[in-house]
A and B are shown apart, each in its own frame.
Chain A
């Protein structure tokens, strides 16, 4: 069975400082990995997707994530946080032919 752990339920950063949101997954096979973001009262928006083409994946709005198989991690980073980045972030793991499994989410707060 596959599962996702997001190590921090809440991360708080100051505007202009780096963001690190951690994600570890458990899967028997090579999974597809995604990061989605959810702003208040909105649906989920895809930030980026990993499907084994490259270990460093660049997404929208300056976010990127690095796949590390040895650590079973897929951490999300951004060099400089913006106020508009405040939202809930979900790490998602999926195996071919199976449904998405969402992590519990990390709420990102950005302080002025």
Chain B
């Protein structure tokens, strides 16, 4: 079974631009979560989608948004990029069931640099 796939692996943008990151979960997994990882703040939860609905949301501004498609693939969008958005963005998928109980499988991440 293929693992969690995130594209692109690396991205360079400038302040004010917007960006879309993509995540393909493991086949059969219906839950997709997104995390931001930075040296200063560590790993922070952004949001979780299950069956095309946002089920949980972290404490991030509205510039961060996401969606999930019927095939469970998910995208994350960041509008009006700021320098502080530079980070490794990780996507994780898990099987059906209540979030927090199931093992999450992580992709390799998308490294976003904002100049």
Which residues of A come within 8 Å of B, CB atoms?
Answer: 32, 34, 36, 41-46, 49, 51, 90, 94-105
Write out the residue numbers on chain A whose beta carbons fall within 8 Å of the beta carbon of B106.
Answer: 36, 43-45
Given contacts A100-B45, A101-B45, A102-B43, contact A46 B103 (CB under 8 A): yes
Nearest B-chain residue to A44, judged by Cβ: B106
CA of A32 to CA of B106 in the docked complex: distance in angstroms? 18
Q: Do residues A43 and B98 form an inter-chain contact, with CB atoms below 8 A?
A: no
Residues of B within 8 A of A103 (CB): 42
Check: B108 CB closer than 8 A to any chain A CB.
yes
Does B90 lie within 8 Å of A32, measured CB to CB?
no
Partner of A32, one of B92, B100, B109: B100
A99 in contact with B103 given A43-B4, A43-B108, A43-B109 (CB within 8 Å):
no
B112 at the A interface (CB under 8 A) = no
Interchain CA distance A51-B48 in the complex, whole Å: 21
When A and B form their complex, which 4 residue pairs have the shortest distance between CB atoms, in order from nearest? A94-B100, A43-B106, A102-B43, A44-B106
B108 is contacted by which of A42, A98, A99, A100 (Cβ under 8 Å)? A42
Which interface residue of A51, A90, A94, A104 has the most chain B CB atoms within 10 A?
A94
Is B99 among interface residues, defined by CB-CB distance under 8 A? yes
In chain B, what residue has the closest Cβ to A101? B45
B16 at the interface (CB under 8 A from A): no
Q: Is there contact, CB below 8 Å, between A90 and B100?
A: no
